[in-house]
Structure 1
Amino acid sequence: MNMTRFESMGVYLPEREVTTKELVESMETQPMFDIEKLTGIKTRRWRGEDEDCHSLALSAIKTCLNNSKYKIEDIDIIICTSITRFKDGLTFVLEPCLSSYLKKSLGMRKDALNFDITNACAGMFTGVHVLDQMIKSGAVKTGLIVSGECITPITETALKEINNPIDEQFASLTVGDSGAAVIMDLSPSEDEGIDLLEISTLSQFSDYCYGMPSDQNPGVAMYTKAMEIHATVIQRLPQSLGRFSEKNNVTGLDFDHVIPHQTSERAIRSALDLCGETLGNVPHTCVVLDRFGNTSSTSHFVALDDQLKQGVIQPGQRILMLILASGIVLGVASVKLGNLQGVH
């Protein structure tokens, strides 16, 4: 069976940067630990006054189309995978879904399909998994996965509400805003494409992280049991990667880079050290959260785009994507890269 591929990619990052130091200094209750040292996050991008999920997604899509051989009328389906769904400022939209608004704004064909998927920070790769199967089945030929994460409103809520040194909203101080989009189609070559993709959900741990309206102030909040999530992932990820390695006959040395979900540098390093015992060490780990923070569902693509622009990752290399999300979601994707940043 032919592989699907990432035909092109686009990432949008707001211009404004906000440092971790600025956030901490604005808090009434100071944390018991050094957030910047613990997470490795020095700064993150912050939406402009006129930016929301819809606009962040549109900006990423426009860049993606500029890098693609396809025109918008060639796209058969758009799947929006944002956690946050803000439009017209901080108005949260459910119906019509955000993909409907995007489809209309882009001027897509009327018969083009659209729907939304939410799966926490694994959202974009969940969309990739669905579209991969749709393309292979012949249901569609081309598709667009997009996420516009206007997620710093949870930071604003946390800054107002954190009232003790060990608060479940501290994880909300690590996020950053972004947009990311990829166009997928069938790969023309065995040297380019998604050759492995597996995702599983451990739903018994779903209560470790909630996103919901705040019960204290207007706006949204996120309550995270960060230590419990880290312990659960550390306990189960090595076995998961070990099974992946044995099933697919691959080791870390079969890859040029690994891009983990961008949570905190210390957590990433400790997890990969443990995984080295079962998978073997991957030559290079891509960590960019010091400049962008945790951009939630877009994080793999923000990191990939940055590392391509920096020249760290090159077209033709094989990347191991380590998919992690509250829920808890564990997943792995192996991607052989083509030219994602120029018209083919």
Structure 2
Amino acid sequence: MRFQNVSLLSVGYILPPEMVTSEDIERRLSPVYDRLRLPQGRLEGMSGIRTRRLWRPGTRLSDVSAQSTSLAMEAAGISPDRVGCLIHASVCREYLEPATACRVHHLVGLPSKCWVYDVSNACLGLLNGAVQIAQLIEAGVIEAGVVVGTEDCRGLLETTLRQLLEDSSLSRQSIKPAFASLTIGSGSCAWLLGKRQSSESGARVFGAVAVARTEHHGLCQSDTDQAGTAMQPLMQTDSELLLEAGIDTGDQAFRALLEELNWDHGQLDATVCHQVGTAHRRRMLDRLGLSVEKDYFTFDRLGNTGSVALPTALGIAASEDFFRGKNRVALLGIGSGLNSVMIGIEGADRIRVGSRDGSS
């Protein structure tokens, strides 16, 4: 699909206060490493992730999401009464019902005429939400909308560590499905989209495509559906097969994006890829024929933050002037399922950014 009247006006993001290094995790797993004779440094060496962030225990997702939303609105100079849709789109949520978006809507003080609901689609939630908001803006239903999410990895990380330490039957082979759960991080991000008023109003959202390869839905799965602060999730991931299937899916989606937008490789100035790790990034960009130097990444210092990973990376890139002199940017999203959502934007250097680093 293509858009004529939609801009990505601003990004608001918050980085959690606690830093956990891959060395910290391996230190806690030293009994397992010693028994299986695994070399120290394996986690960072395989993933490229040095550190990730965690929220303090007891942090409410909706509190942080409301703050990220406010940061995005303040950066763009958009008042609450102009926001016609709020979508909360992270994997993590506070309750099965009501929608986490409801409390965020209340805290931010958005109008009663606002569309308010949750969307969940693994690492693609915020991109899916952004496309839905873009459609509402393009149709003239709303003037502006916010998609926001907050991911909290503490429960998954702690549950995974406890399981690995308690299961004496683990082998080098059987420990592999837990690897991806040790690479995750926490974070929060909001995108504010609005009606395109002029060439100076944010980045133009040129269009988007989606590709579903759901024959691979079993390659990365959580346990049963849970919500709230007491949840103790587990994830099982076939990282090797997921890598191969993800690259195939991404290749198909990227070709579809270029065709839909009538772009070619030579017109693409920058990319923000799915934020998983070194191997995925290198192989994906190589498969797509894209330059590593033109791609911005954050997983080395933030880990894989799920649905907020790519959106946050876009915000950090914009704040660091990575897009200066670069016009056309492709956002290359992939999520377990497998699905891919890719979005093309123009003028990313005009995106306004509001942020807060909790560690400062």
Task: Tell me the TM-score normalised to structure 1 length.
Answer: 0.89
Partner of 1:317: 327
Partner of 2:279: 266
Which of residues 277, 297, 301 is equivalent to 1:291? 301
Aligned residues: 332
Matched-pair identity in %: 21
Which of residues 35, 43, 51 is equivalent to 2:51? 43
Partner of 2:357: none
Stretches of structure 2 that go unaligned for 5 or more consecutive residues are: 355-360
State the secondary structure of the residue aligned to 2:176.
coil
Q: Distance between the aligned counterparts of 1:71 and 1:49, measured in 2?
A: 32
Q: Distance between the aligned counterparts of 1:68 and 1:23, measured in 2?
A: 39
Partner of 1:89: none
Q: 1:159 to 1:214 in 2, by over 3 A?
A: farther
Cα deviation digits, residues 216-258 of structure 1 (max 9, x gap): x961112111111111123343344234334533223312211
Does residue 225 of the first structure (1) align with residue 238 of the second (2)? Answer: yes
Are the aligned partners of 1:256 and 1:283 in contact in 2 as well (CA < 8 Å)?
A: no
Are the aligned partners of 1:15 and 1:46 in contact in 2 as well (CA < 8 Å)?
A: yes
Task: Tell me the TM-score normalised to structure 2 length.
Answer: 0.86
- Going by fraction, where is helix more abundant, 1 or 2? 2
Q: Distance between the aligned counterparts of 2:292 and 2:208, measured in 1?
A: 17
Does residue 29 of the first structure (1) align with residue 32 of the second (2)? Answer: yes
Q: 1:151 to 1:196 in 2, by over 3 A?
A: same
Q: Distance between the aligned counterparts of 2:68 and 2:251, measured in 1?
A: 34
Does residue 148 of the first structure (1) align with residue 127 of the second (2)? Answer: no
Partner of 1:177: 186
Which of residues 166, 169, 177 is equivalent to 1:168? 177
Partner of 1:131: 133
Matches within 5 A, 1:189-268: 189=198, 192-213=203-224, 219-268=232-281
State the Cα distance separating 1:150 from its structure 2 match.
Answer: 1.3
State the one-letter code of the partner of 1:139: V
Cα deviation digits, residues 172-207 of structure 1 (max 9, x gap): 111111110011111123574111211122122111
- Say which is worse superposed, 252-261 or 118-127, in terms of deviation: 252-261
Q: Distance between the aligned counterparts of 2:187 and 2:120, measured in 1?
A: 16
Matches within 5 A, 1:63-74: 63-74=71-82
State the Cα distance separating 1:282 from its structure 2 match.
Answer: 7.2
State the one-letter code of the partner of 2:154: T
Q: 1:236 to 1:316 in 2, by over 3 A?
A: closer
State the one-letter code of the partner of 1:196: G
State the Cα distance separating 1:214 from its structure 2 match.
Answer: 9.8
- Say which is worse superposed, 157-166 or 14-23, in terms of deviation: 157-166
Stretches of structure 1 that go unaligned for 5 or more consecutive residues are: 87-92
Are the aligned partners of 2:138 and 2:195 in contact in 1 as well (CA < 8 Å)?
A: yes
Cα deviation digits, residues 22-54 of structure 1 (max 9, x gap): 011102422746110111000011111342321
Q: 1:73 to 1:248 in 2, by over 3 A?
A: closer
